[in-house]
Amino acid sequence: MSALTLAPPDVMIPVAARLATVDKETHDTFTLTLAANSREQELPAFAPGQFSMLYVFATGELPISISGDPAERGKLVYTVRSVGKVTHALVTSRPGESIGVRGPFGTAWPLKESYGRDVLIVAGGIGLAPLRPAILHVLRHRGDYGRLIVLYGARSPQDLLFRKQLSAWNYVPDTLIINTVDYGGLSWRGNVGVVTTLFRHVRLQPARTTAMVCGPEIMMRYVVRELLARGLSDEDIHLSMERNMKCAVGFCGHCQLGPYFVCKDGPIFTYGKLKRWMDRYEL
């Protein structure tokens, strides 16, 4: 992982980057693109699944996954759902303003390890954001992988992210994208139901499939159950976990989950690592 050039004196000190664009995805979700602040500044490379700590002046700092294409250098793309103080400040920031960045941090989706295999992506809500770099990577190296299946669930049609991109991907050979929503409304012709109901539309080859899953914890539990029932092994199921984070570098203690620090041992874990802890209520 390369560090930010103009390396700050301490890992806790952000570097100010320039907010280049803010694009509306849905009523509450926006994609932000950061660019270098000056000619000397070079934004770091990242691996799909990693996150940054984004700092909004006088407001606060948050973990946000990188949602852009890992092959495109010189910018950092994030997709943020406005749910509270800092995410609201982020999505209402204007192009030209500075955003503080630290990172990238954390583990990545197992893309190298999945060469030649089928890749199954299961996403719920904003959970599609950290998975998009993985999808973009597979599409860019289409020949290196087997089938690509994306199962994606959102609350309503208005909440579906990256809709245009999703339908375009459906035309790529050996690629299957299926959406569902919890509540459809009158004009919705697509699937209705939680994301696990989509499993009946696909036939998996468990021995050659790697699953990458991100969404609310409860959804991930049900997805895991489904994947295990279809014969995937613990080690072929990868989950991205969410915990409170104040540092991202193992210093603040907030992100602990059993023996792990989600910031540095995760956020992406194999189910094999998590299974002992995931079902413990209030762990």
Q: Which residues here bind ligand FAD, judged by CB under 6 A?
A: 51, 60, 62-65, 79-81, 83-87, 126, 129-130, 242-245, 267
Least spacing, CB of residue 177 vs ligand FAD, in Å: 20
Q: Closest by alpha carbon to 53, among 24, 20, 86?
A: 86
- Site residues for other proteins, 161-200, by CB under 8 A, read none
Least spacing, CB of residue 237 vs ligand FAD, in Å: 18
Measure the CA–CA gap between 17 and 54, rounded to whole angstroms: 10
Beta carbon nearer to other proteins, 58 or 186: 58
Beta carbon nearer to other proteins, 172 or 218: 218
Query: How many CA atoms lie within 13 Å of 261's alpha carbon, on the beta-carbon side?
Result: 14
- 7 forms part of the interface with other proteins (CB under 8 A): no
- The DSSP bridge pattern shows strands 237-240 and 268-270 to be antiparallel
- 249 forms part of the interface with other proteins (CB under 8 A): yes
User: Beta-carbon neighbour count of residue 228 at 10 Å?
Assistant: 15
- Contact present, 104 and 66 (Cβ < 8 Å): yes
- Contact present, 245 and 255 (Cβ < 8 Å): yes
Beta carbon nearer to ligand FES, 151 or 248: 248
Least spacing, CB of residue 243 vs ligand FES, in Å: 7
Q: Closest by alpha carbon to 64, among 110, 27, 99, 112?
A: 99
- 166 forms part of the interface with ligand FES (CB under 6 A): no
Q: Which stretch binds other proteins (CB under 8 A): 27-35, 112-120, 195-203, 239-247?
A: 239-247
Q: Closest by alpha carbon to 273, among 217, 231, 235?
A: 235
In terms of C-beta density within 10 A (0-12 exposed, 13-18 middle, 19 or more buried), how is residue 7 classed?
Answer: exposed
- 40 forms part of the interface with other proteins (CB under 8 A): no
Residues 23, 72, 97, 235: which binds other proteins (CB under 8 A)? 97
Q: Which stretch binds ligand FES (CB under 6 A): 17-25, 81-89, 160-168, 247-255?
A: 247-255
Q: Where are the beta strands (DSSP E) in the chain?
A: 15-24, 29-35, 51-56, 60-65, 75-81, 98-105, 118-124, 148-154, 175-181, 191-192, 209-214, 237-240, 256-257, 260-261, 268-270
Residues 8, 185, 193, 253: which binds ligand FES (CB under 6 A)? 253
- 195 forms part of the interface with ligand FES (CB under 6 A): no
- 283 forms part of the interface with other proteins (CB under 8 A): yes
Beta carbon nearer to other proteins, 230 or 264: 264
- 236 forms part of the interface with other proteins (CB under 8 A): no
Residues in contact with 30: Cβ distance below 8 Å, sequence separation at least 6, in sequence order: 22, 23, 24, 79, 80, 82, 90, 91
Please choose which of ligand FAD, other proteins, ligand FES, none residue 32 contacts, taking the beta carbon within 5 to 8 angstroms, the exact cut-off set by kind.
Answer: none
Chain residues in the site for other proteins (CB under 8 A): 8-16, 18, 37, 55, 57-61, 83-84, 94, 96-98, 100, 218, 221, 242-244, 246-247, 249-254, 256, 258-259, 261, 264, 279-283
